[in-house]
Chains A and B, each alone.
Chain A
């Protein structure tokens, strides 16, 4: 079985302006949504209380909200997740311990249905949230910086580094945008998923770069547009194959992994799709528009043997 029986020759680079436009539109939509609607941050980031409870029969969301409000909990957010019998309750930060919260909420829920059971209580202090946001951003920034450096050293040109970083930034922005538009809860597991997305996107980009370097070695007089098109075409079946395999696992996780893994797998699916696109259209195209030619890749490579790997 093969996706492409003959070598493909899609003219990727000639249509790049169109794809730039599409990416810019998507990024503007994402950023606009982030700026206006923000993210539906989980208690990991905001501080507060979440309670997960299970009812013996289908839960009545409105009744739960009414009962909680009547008991003095201001503005409770109640969502039904997983099966119709599971609910998640979000409450603003409190000084009560899990013990107290569990006792009170269980009492309230049992007035609705005596069989209601509390499954999980989380109380996160407000000071944790701000710190986590900062440390997540720091981790991201440090990672991107290191990768920029590594690619610049390995491929001898900042043009590819820039292309890689832009491609890598592109994907999490789209994931963030989607989470902002759909109001899906954004918690630490989603951050982990975004990091995985960055890893994948980078992986793809570097594989294409590797091929570009090889093509330039084969013929240094070649036109950069031709080389880039050839490189992407030659790695295309690998790109699609790898993505299909990863998506198989992630989709299984989305469908079967239960509610706790839902946000995580959703972020991965969006990210993997975006990453495939960005590694084809963004990373190489940006390098091309920055004036990438054979000499950039080969100038210093000529002095060194081809593969003295780390």
Chain B
């Protein structure tokens, strides 16, 4: 008589049933599909659906089925060729209103979708798409922080009517990177008072006052601490990830992934996307506006000729190339813009701007004090360009800043106003940039992979078929070698694959080629656990132990070997999960989960089945173990 607690049967049954439910959507497979959505984000309606159906029908493209899912129209096709033709057709005729993206549509029935049961997503190597790895320029993030402190210092000192000579960046961080600011004061200034004002900008800043010779006056230095730099870098990375996510969402790609990778990288995975130029342009762009007062006391032409802008001013160019001097103090920075929407005005394309409280306050005060004086709007677009220096190619951050509009202040401005002088493209880009948030640090593509949709399909077809045939061969072999026990092992192995699939589907962990490798290793480990048990049972039988006692001894004695070998493999899996990235991590996730499911199925599932087979009867003459 073999004993196996009833609750264990219940547990095994329950876990396997839940596993089957979650793994089920994977059984149906996917169709190549097209996802169409309105560029203005209005939901698709039946009318739009019919017109697209007709359009594709005219081109003799067969639609397998279509449905509207959360405002997006999904069209499924029989093959990749129709999918690509449909994409080209929609792009060619409806590109001003609609955006089409390649996608996959699950063949699972609608009720599964409703309950949130979804097949595990496939990695880009298995479904095609664009993979971009961005390097975030963390030094750039620190310089941006210094720039914003510089602006705040200028504003605070001007508001407090305290004189200062200039504010410059200083510091000898690693590699001569600036990590501080120096506020130079005229000899008569009261350093303590200035420091008190500066301290109010941010109480966490550290200031040191130095008087280097009476002629030069006093200087107050602010150095960022290591913790402040670290905090800024973290912030920049997280902010960039959010911004990239927002911008990717603007692309209308189905199931995009944007995630941090390592210390200073962000990877973007766009299934179904092939055209990288357009995507990179949109994702990496930095465009913003600044408002400054124009300087009316100095001569701009003279400044251009001498190459030196007078103290407290900055030299800019207008659209037509003529020079203009603007004050260094910024009234409103890009950070203080909350939204921008493109609009049309009598003077051509325009952008409606909204300011946050700080920006609105500054705008109100400045305009009140400066009625009748000119104010300029500066459009800034930053990009990274390659230039040749001494025959070597070097990256240079170039920022094109141009004054798009100078107008006389006629009254007091509030938090909302309109700006003209942009082209309609610039207006649209600007409103998109402001909507998605700005990049807190410059980014650069360091790795790029474009995997064709048919190659992805080919990879998965071959990989999955190989796996299926391999598994089938294992099933047959186990049954031949261990007879009834072999069939039990097969059932257990199948349950293991189901549970693993269910876990991966639940966690929405995407399956890639290394993941398939992980599944193979897991199959090996699961088989091994059963082999250990069965070989042990055979050994006991050879030693003349009775069948039921042999089963009991087999499970008990194999336990420590199974546990130890699984724990060592688990250590390897977890270490790789934590340390590895990309392919290695995908492998590690599957391996770790697979070991967990394999321990469960071989120790509990296998025992439950064998106890059912041999446990009930009072006496068993012989075991069908080959």
Contacts and interface: CB of A to CB of B under 8 A. Distances in A.
Partners in one complex: yes
Interface of A: 1-2, 7, 52, 95, 97-100, 102, 117-125, 127-128, 135-136, 138-139, 142-143, 146-147, 150-151, 154, 188-189, 191-193, 195-196, 198-200, 202-204, 206-207, 209-211, 214, 234-235, 237-238, 241-242, 244-246, 248-253, 255-258, 260-261, 264, 268, 306-307, 309-310
Given A7-B542, A150-B571, A310-B563, A261 B466 contact: yes
B458 A124 contact: no
A189 B583 contact: yes
A255 B466 contact: yes
Given A188-B584, A260-B462, 12 more contacts: A52-B455, A98-B448, A99-B276, A99-B277, A125-B446, A195-B576, A206-B561, A210-B564, A235-B535, A245-B477, A253-B463, A255-B466
Interface in B269-305: 275-277, 280
A27 B467 CA distance: 32
B443 to A, nearest CB: 13
A249 B564 contact: no
Interface stretch (B17-25, B104-112, B327-335, B525-533): B525-533
Given A196-B517, A198-B572, A248 B470 contact: yes
Interface in B474-510: 474, 477-478, 480-481
Contacts of B480: 1
Contacts of A234: 539
Nearest to B626: A1
Interface string B550-583: 0000000101110111011101110110011111
A-B interface, 6 closest residue pairs, ranked by CB to CB distance from nearest: A252-B470, A258-B462, A249-B470, A125-B446, A256-B466, A246-B524
8 contacts: A2-B538, A188-B584, A195-B584, A202-B568, A206-B561, A210-B560, A245-B478, A246-B527
B575 A143 contact: yes
B612 interface: no
Contact of B455 (A120, A244, A245, A249): A120
Contact of A309 (B446, B531, B563, B576): B563
B161 interface: no
Contact of A248 (B386, B477, B525, B571): B477
Interface in B341-400: 386, 393
Nearest to A241: B531
Contacts of A251: 470
Contacts of B268: none
B450 A139 contact: no
Contact of A143 (B516, B538, B542, B572): B572
Contact of A257 (B466, B528, B581): B466
B447 interface: yes
A199 B542 CA distance: 31
B513 interface: yes
A56 to B, nearest CB: 13
A275 B447 CA distance: 35
Given A192-B517, A261-B462, A261-B463, A202 B572 contact: yes
Contacts of A128: 133, 446-447
B217 interface: no
A99 B275 CA distance: 7
Contacts of B463: 253, 257-258, 260-261
Contacts of B471: 249
Contacts of A306: 560
Contacts of A241: 481, 531, 535
Nearest to A195: B576
Nearest to A245: B527
B565 A203 contact: yes
A238 B531 contact: yes
B121 to A, nearest CB: 19
A287 to B, nearest CB: 15
Given A102-B450, A120-B449, A195-B576, A260 B459 contact: yes
B521 interface: yes
A249 B474 contact: yes
Contacts of B481: 1-2, 241
B575 A118 contact: no
Contacts of A200: 521, 524
Among B571, B573, B582, max chain A CB count under 10 A is at B571
Contact of A188 (B454, B524, B560, B583): B583
B561 A264 contact: no
A192 B582 CA distance: 11
A136 B582 CA distance: 11
Contacts of A255: 466
Nearest to B521: A196
Interface string B574-605: 01100111111001100100000000000000
A147 B572 contact: yes
A214 B564 CA distance: 13
Contacts of B258: none
B465 A97 contact: no
B452 interface: yes
Contact of A119 (B455, B575, B579): B455
B52 interface: no
Contacts of B580: 135, 139
A190 to B, nearest CB: 10
Nearest to B133: A128
A98 B564 CA distance: 47
A88 B518 CA distance: 26
B514 interface: yes
Contacts of B459: 258, 260
Contacts of A188: 514, 582-584
A235 B538 CA distance: 12
B561 A249 contact: no
A191 B579 CA distance: 14
B454 A249 contact: no
